[in-house]
Amino acid sequence: MSTPTIEWIGGVDGHLRLIDQTKLPAETELLDCETVDDVWWAIRKLSVRGAPAIGVAAAYAVVLATSDSHESVKSACDHLATSRPTAVNLFWALDRMRRVADDADRDELAERLLAEAKAIHSEDAEQCAAIGRHGADLLEQTLAKGSGILTHCNTGALATGGDGTALAVLFELHRRGFGPHVYADETRPLLQGSRLTMWELTDRGVKATLICDSMAAQVMREGRVAAAIVGADRIAANGDSANKIGTYGVALHAKAHGLPFYVAAPTTTFDLSLATGAEIPIEERAASEITKPGGVMFAPEGVEVYNPAFDVAPAELIAGIITERGVINPVTTDTVTKMVAN
């Protein structure tokens, strides 16, 4: 992908530039964010999305708040934390920026914060590459070349500071000549699978087929896919994994058809303070995303709508969690803690 998803322009007095993902795939429009509020809105309206990318964007947003004032940094972090509740990388990145600010003298505050934001960005790219390698090693050992692999939502370069999480695995398999055939769920109601994942897959030359979310079980029944792999926005200590709504259904379908269901995520996406997925906060979004997508009415005016943005796949349905440190298998509190806590 020639245009970076997230890019810092200039020095300490610079600004954040993002691909506006709400405009894809029709046009690649760049969004210049010059204030903390600009980034808050970009996160809230999904111009930037995906747990790792949200964390990176929020870290850079803190730099925009710097006016040689520790108080302005604290205020910015508190404000950014209200943008979206589920993606734990957001809070992890903000906590990291707070710690740097607490340790920095006033005259070095801006430079220290920018250096830390760039480090978070760089580390995420390295984690993505490692996830890709570990996941490709695993699937090469367990699947036949050219196997169909189902994915849900978008977990590529658009969702991270690097090559992605679940898509990084598929990109690495493609680079190795494994020839995966990716089946991408459209991912209702905002169609991240059709708009974003298919855009990335076709851009990389990966063989891919788009399907409606409701077709996943039939595709599995017909033997078109041999595994499913998805990302995550927050993973509890026992391995329960929150991801874009519809992921739980994919996990159930995979279990019913005897197929492995994998989650790919960096260790920064784990929240060991939560014992199980029942404690993960689930964001609810506007009814209009369902009733009036793209400004076109698809439901009678005033109908009651329930629109959770995420659901939770229980650990017992997950064949393995692919991290930058290796694969967690089996998925239990003990194995998660051993991999993540160090």
Q: List residues forming the annotated binding site for substrate.
A: 49-51, 84, 192, 243-244
Q: Distance between alpha carbon 158 and the CA centroid of its chain, in Å?
A: 8
Cα Rg, the chain, nearest whole Å = 19
From CA 342, how far away is CA 339, in angstroms rounded?
7
Give the residue among 136, 139, 99, 138 at the shortest CA–CA distance from 119: 99
Q: Distance between alpha carbon 16 and the CA centroid of its chain, in Å?
A: 19
From CA 197, how far away is CA 172, in angstroms rounded?
15
Side chain identity at residue 196, one-letter code: L
Q: Give the chain's count of helices (H) and strands (E).
A: 12, 14
Query: Is 105 marked active-site?
Result: no
- The catalytic residue among 233, 240, 271, 311 is 233
For residue 87, report the phi and psi dihedrals to the nearest 5 degrees: -70, 110
From CA 256, how far away is CA 214, in angstroms rounded?
15
* Long-range contacts, stretch 22-31, CB < 8 angstroms, 24+ apart: 22/46, 22/47, 24/158, 24/195, 24/196, 24/199, 25/195, 25/196, 25/198, 25/199, 28/3, 30/3
From CA 248, how far away is CA 244, in angstroms rounded?
9
306 DSSP assignment? -
For residue 131, report the phi and psi dihedrals to the nearest 5 degrees: -60, -45
List, by residue number, the catalytic residues: 233
